[in-house]
Amino acid sequence: MTQTAMAFADEIALCSGENVNVCYQCGKCTCGCPVAFNMDLTPTQTMHAVRLGMKDTVLNSRTIWICASCETCTTRCPQELDVAKVMDGARIIARREKLKPAVPEVTAFYRASLGSIKYLGRMYELGIVMLLKVLTRAFTQDLKLGIDMMKKRKLALLPTFRGAGAARRLFNKIAKMEKP
C-alpha cells in the first residue's frame, strides 16, 4: 500500500467528519489520554501521521485499537478536533480494508460483544467471555476473577432475549446501508 499524502486525511474526514489539518501539535490530547503509555503512537503523533498520509503506519498501529474512546482528548483539544472520532475512523478503515489488527484481543472483544447484541438484543457477559476465550485461546486468563464474579452473582448464567428481534433488524439495516 502506498503512503499518499493528503488522501488519507481526506479518507479519515469522509469517515469521521473531522479535519486533522487543524491540529497544531500542542500535545494536550496526549497529556490527558489515560492509555497513551501503552500506545505505539501517541494521539498527537497519530494526528500528525494522518496529516502526512502515513496510512500504513496508522492503520497498523496498536494505538487505534488501544484507544478506549473515552473522549478526554476531544474535550481537551483547543482546536476542537474530535480526536476520538478520528481514532474511530481509522478503525473503520482498517476493518474495511481487512487489515490484521495490531491488538487482536480488542477486535475479538468487538466481535463477541456485537454478536451478543445482534442475536440476543443485549450484552450476555458470560457468553461474551466464553466466545472471547475461544477467539483469543486465552482459556485460563482471569479464570479466578470469573469464578469470583459468578459466586457474587455478577455474571448471569443464562441469557435473556429481550429486544433480540429489534436488534437483528437494526444490524440488517446497517449492513444494507454499508453495502457498496
Is residue 14 near ligand SF4 by the rule CB under 6 A? no
Is residue 77 near ligand SF4 by the rule CB under 6 A? yes
Radius of gyration of the chain (CA): 19
- Which of the ranges 19-27, 111-119, 121-129, 132-140 carries the binding residues for ligand SF4, by CB under 6 A? 19-27
Phi first, then psi, for residue 174 (nearest 5°) are -65, -40
Contacts for 34 with CB less than 8 Å, ≥ 6 apart: 68, 70, 72
Is residue 29 near ligand SF4 by the rule CB under 6 A? yes
Report which of 53, 59, 56, 58 is spatially closest to residue 8, judged by C-alpha positions. 53
Is residue 68 near ligand SF4 by the rule CB under 6 A? yes
Cell output for 58:
496508522
Residue 73 CA to residue 52 CA, distance in Å, equals 20
Is residue 9 near ligand SF4 by the rule CB under 6 A? no
Distance of closest approach, residue 19 Cβ to ligand SF4, in angstroms: 11
Is residue 23 near ligand SF4 by the rule CB under 6 A? yes
Cell output for 157:
448464567
* Binder among 84, 90, 108, 132 for ligand SF4 (CB under 6 A): 84
Q: Please report, as a single letter, which amino acid is at residue 118.
A: K
Is residue 165 near ligand SF4 by the rule CB under 6 A? no
Distance of closest approach, residue 26 Cβ to ligand SF4, in angstroms: 4
Which is closer to ligand SF4, CB of 89 or CB of 121?
89
Cell output for 30:
496526549
Is residue 38 near ligand SF4 by the rule CB under 6 A? no
Is residue 102 near ligand SF4 by the rule CB under 6 A? no
Cell output for 165:
428481534
Cell output for 89:
475512523
Q: Contact residues for ligand SF4 (CB under 6 A)? A: 23-29, 32-33, 35, 43-44, 47, 67-73, 76-79, 81, 83-84, 87
